[in-house]
Structure 1
Amino acid sequence: MKLFKSLALLVCMSTLPGLAGAASDPAASYPDKPVRVIVPFPPGGATDIVGREIADRLSRALGQPFVVENRSGASGNIGMEAAARSAPDGYTLVVGAPQTLTINPLLFKNSNFDPQKRLDPIVVVATVPNVLIISPKLQAKSVKDVINLAKQKPGKLNYGSSSIGGTPHLSSEMFKSMTGTFITHIPYRGSAPALADLMGGQIDLMFDNLPAALPHIKSGRIKALAVTTAQRSPSAPDLPTMIEAGVPGFESQGWFSLLAPAGTPPAILQKINTEVNKILATDTFKQRLDNVGGQAKGGSIADFRQLMDAEMQRWAKVIKFANITVE
Structure 2
Amino acid sequence: MIRILLLAVLSLLPIASVSGQEWPSKPVRFIVGYPPGGGHDFVARTVAQRMSEQLKQTFLVENRSGASGAIGTDYVAKSDPDGYTLLIASPAEVMVGPIAGQKVPYDAAKDLVPVALIGETPLAVAIHPSVPANTMQELLALAKRSPGKLSYGTPGTGSSHQFAGESIKAIGEIFIVHIPYRGAAPAVTDLLGGQVEIGIVGMPPVIGHHKSGKLKIIAVTSAKRSAATPEIASVAELPGFAGFHFTNWQGVYAAAKTPPAVIQRIAAEIANAVRDPATRQRLLTAGVDPLGLGPAEFSAFLAREHATYTKVAKDRNIKLGE
Superposed pair shares fold, TM > 0.5:
yes
Identity between Structure 1 and Structure 2 (%): 37
Counterpart in 2 of 1:70?
63
Q: For 1:289, which of 283, 286, 290 is the aligned residue?
A: 283
Q: CA 1:150/1:8 → structure 2, altered by over 3 Å: closer, same or farther?
A: closer
Q: CA 1:208/1:88 → structure 2, altered by over 3 Å: closer, same or farther?
A: same
Counterpart in 1 of 2:260?
266
Q: Contact conserved, 1:38 with 1:94, CA < 8 A, in 2?
A: yes
2: CA distance between counterparts of 1:227 and 1:165?
19
Q: For 1:257, which of 236, 251, 271 is the aligned residue?
A: 251
How many residue pairs get aligned? The number is: 319
Structure of higher CA gyration radius = 1
Long gaps (5+) in structure 1: none
Mean Cα displacement is larger for which, 75-84 or 172-181?
75-84
Q: CA deviation digits over 1:181-221, x for unaligned, max 9?
A: 11111111111111111111111102122222211111211
Q: Contact conserved, 1:83 with 1:92, CA < 8 A, in 2?
A: yes
Counterpart in 2 of 1:307?
301
Q: CA 1:309/1:284 → structure 2, altered by over 3 Å: closer, same or farther?
A: same
2: CA distance between counterparts of 1:123 and 1:168?
22
**2:274 is matched by which residue type in structure 1?**
L
Q: TM-score, normalization: structure 2?
A: 0.91
Q: Contact conserved, 2:21 with 2:265, CA < 8 A, in 1?
A: no
Cα RMSD (Å) of the superposition?
Answer: 2.2
2: CA distance between counterparts of 1:235 and 1:220?
18
Counterpart in 2 of 1:25?
17
Q: State how 1:1-80 maps to structure 2 within 5 Å.
A: 4-7=1-4, 24-26=16-18, 27-80=20-73
SS where residue 115 of structure 2 aligns? strand
Shift of 1:314: 0.5
Q: State how 1:226-237 maps to structure 2 within 5 Å.
A: 226-237=219-230
Mean Cα displacement is larger for which, 119-128 or 19-28?
19-28
**2:305 is matched by which residue type in structure 1?**
E
Q: TM-score, normalization: structure 1?
A: 0.90
Shift of 1:57: 1.5
SS where residue 138 of structure 1 aligns? coil
Long gaps (5+) in structure 2: none
Counterpart in 1 of 2:218?
225
Shift of 1:90: 1.7
Kindly indicate whether residue 190 of structure 2 is the aligned counterpart of residue 197 of structure 1: yes
1: CA distance between counterparts of 2:259 and 2:245?
37
Q: State how 1:16-165 maps to structure 2 within 5 Å.
A: 24-26=16-18, 27-108=20-101, 110-111=103-104, 113-165=106-158
Q: CA deviation digits over 1:206-248, x for unaligned, max 9?
A: 2122222211111211101011222222211211111335552
1: CA distance between counterparts of 2:116 and 2:263?
9
2: CA distance between counterparts of 1:247 and 1:293?
26
Mean Cα displacement is larger for which, 228-237 or 271-280?
228-237
2: CA distance between counterparts of 1:52 and 1:215?
19
Q: Contact conserved, 1:101 with 1:308, CA < 8 A, in 2?
A: no
1: CA distance between counterparts of 2:254 and 2:192?
37
Shift of 1:61: 2.1
2: CA distance between counterparts of 1:140 and 1:109?
35
Q: CA 1:135/1:109 → structure 2, altered by over 3 Å: closer, same or farther?
A: closer
Shift of 1:20: 5.7
